[in-house]
């Protein structure tokens, strides 16, 4: 099936592309909506502008749109606009969604797909958190944490590339503090710097860390593809 993929640059939307490709689907384009602020309940915010590097590394066209409001209905309208364009320009038959547990998101995306007479594909839906995170790392995914907003996650994690050893620590913290290990509840956001889909590794050249004592974010200021590709 020809698919347009909702894409935030995080581990879930990127891994969903790999899974869908392995299932025989064709990813025709990426859809990225930039929310007005980090108050969005539907869209990931940190470092979205750098998804252009990931799109280039995967050699997949990217369609983007900036939302003029953080209201869910406005953001959904932006996604629908991009999806219509993807359907017209690339002949997509379905929308790829990297969600794992948010019924709210999935129902909203199903509504759009029904309206446009296309299918919603959610290959990561209800994945077991520890197994899923382990599979990510085993598959060769390098990703960093770009925001944290949960008890048990402090500024130590901001900008950190997650390893197998880190996963054990995160698992212990998730059991102690009650957050979701795969961050599906928004406890943290991630950014993929390399994976089997990429032709080139993403190099972060300059960054800023923001921390208020409870939540924080890692802002990528300057980045590029390895070997200037």
Do 74 and 172 lie in a common domain? no
Boundaries of domain holding 197:
142-228
Task: Choose among 26, 40, 36, 4: nearest CA to 189.
Answer: 40
pLDDT single digits (tens) 89-127:
999 999 999 999 989 989 999 999 999 999 999 999 999
CA distance 209 to 220: 9
CATH label of the domain that carries residue 162: 3.90.1490.10
Give the pLDDT of residue 73: 74
CA distance 93 to 129: 29
Give the pTM. Answer: 0.93
Give the pLDDT of residue 71: 66
Give the pLDDT of residue 185: 85
Give the pLDDT of residue 98: 96
Do 45 and 90 lie in a common domain? yes
Do 109 and 14 lie in a common domain? yes
CA distance 170 to 167: 5
Which of 89, 121, 153 terminates a domain? The answer is: 121
User: What is the separation of C-alpha 155 from the centre of its chain, rounded to a whole number of angstroms?
Assistant: 21
Q: Are 17 and 41 in contact (CB under 8 A)?
A: no
Tokens 């048990």 belong to which residue?
152
The residues of the chain scoring below 50 in pLDDT are 41, 229
In a domain, 66, yes or no: yes
Give the pLDDT of residue 229: 46
Give the pLDDT of residue 186: 87
In a domain, 133, yes or no: no
In a domain, 163, yes or no: yes
CA distance 97 to 110: 10
Do 111 and 159 lie in a common domain? no
Give the pLDDT of residue 138: 96
């Amino acid at each position: 099936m020809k698919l347009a993929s909702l894409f935030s640059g995080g581990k879930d939307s990127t891994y969903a592309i790999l899974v869908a490709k392995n299932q025989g689907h064709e990813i025709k384009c990426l859809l990225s909506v930039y929310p007005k602020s980090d108050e969005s309940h539907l869209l990931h915010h940190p470092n979205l502008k750098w998804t252009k590097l990931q799109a280039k590394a995967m050699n997949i066209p990217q369609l983007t749109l900036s939302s003029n409001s953080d209201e869910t209905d406005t953001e959904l309208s932006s996604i629908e606009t991009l999806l219509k364009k993807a359907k017209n320009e690339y002949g997509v038959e379905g929308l790829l969604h990297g969600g794992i547990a948010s019924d709210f998101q999935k129902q909203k995306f199903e509504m759009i797909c029904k309206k446009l007479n296309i299918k919603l594909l959610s290959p990561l839906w209800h994945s077991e958190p520890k197994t899923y995170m382990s599979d990510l790392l085993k598959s060769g995914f390098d990703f960093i944490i770009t925001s944290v907003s949960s008890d048990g996650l402090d500024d130590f994690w901001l900008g950190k590339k997650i390893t197998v050893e880190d996963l054990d620590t995160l698992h212990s913290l998730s059991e102690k503090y009650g957050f979701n290990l795969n961050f599906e509840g928004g406890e943290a956001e991630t950014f993929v710097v390399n994976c089997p889909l990429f032709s080139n590794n993403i190099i972060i050249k300059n960054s800023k860390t923001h921390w208020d004592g409870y939540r924080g974010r890692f802002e990528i200021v300057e980045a590029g593809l390895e070997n200037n590709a």
